[in-house]
Chains A and B, each alone.
Chain A
Amino acid sequence: GAVVSQHPSWVICKSGTSVKIECRSLDFQATTMFWYRQFPKQSLMLMATSNEGSKATYEQGVEKDKFLINHASLTLSTLTVTSAHPEDSSFYICSARGPTSAAGELFFGEGSRLTVL
């Protein structure tokens, strides 16, 4: 199946710093990727839809200046958490639609656990 790689898998940073998370489709091109956030023992909340070559579409309540998304190529989308604070600590997961799935099966990265001190 299609492979989505996410990096880093975990990161610890100081409050006020910015952190970049990368999401790569390794063996297929993904014009659309999705970024989710997950709190412990909770479900995934869609943050934004990342579109190659255009601006991301953010869900209601998600600060676009706080969570910068760049989808500069067909295989890479990045999420930058700017001026991170402890409340931004979470598990961030990206996903992309598979190349051959007309119905839209999603392939997920392994997630990135962010801890802001």
Chain B
Amino acid sequence: SQQGEEDPQALSIQEGENATMNCSYKTSINNLQWYRQNSGRGLVHLILIRSNEREKHSGRLRVTLDTSKKSSSLLITASRAADTASYFCATESGTYKYIFGTGTRLKVLA
């Protein structure tokens, strides 16, 4: 399977703490994206990092990319209860097809 792996599969933290989730993939990529999905809903794009970038920030989000290790991480700082959702990484390898990781279910406790 080409699908990427994410860990942890589930994460439960207290409001105000930071949440880190990791994504590993198998093939060379053009870019890697992170998406958020609330239960039973569609996905919302969070951030895109290109293969020649190592780190990117957007608000409380910080994404890193290590192409030598074929891995990425998403850090959410100062988490809020509203951040509770599933988070997926998705990779694109030049064919315009997007392969999604297995996802991390984040629960932020108020």
Interface residues of chain A, those whose CB is within 8 Å of chain B, are 1, 4, 6, 32, 34, 36, 41-46, 49, 91, 93, 95, 97, 103-111, 113
Contacts and interface: CB of A to CB of B under 8 A. Distances in A.
B78 interface: no
Interface in B76-91: 88, 90
Nearest to A104: B92
B42 A34 contact: no
Contact of A44 (B31, B33, B88, B92): B88
DSSP majority for the B interface?
Answer: strand
A93 B57 CA distance: 28
Contacts of A41: 105
A97 to B, nearest CB: 7
A106 B90 contact: yes
Closest 8 CB pairs of A and B: A108-B42, A110-B42, A108-B43, A44-B100, A43-B100, A43-B102, A111-B42, A43-B103
B45 A107 contact: yes
B96 A32 contact: yes
B12 to A, nearest CB: 15
B88 A43 contact: yes
Contacts of B97: 34, 46, 49
Contacts of A108: 35, 42-45
Nearest to B105: A41
Contacts of A97: 96
Given A105-B33, A106-B33, A43 B48 contact: no
A54 B33 CA distance: 28
A7 B102 CA distance: 26
A54 B91 CA distance: 25
Given A34-B97, A103-B48, A111 B105 contact: no
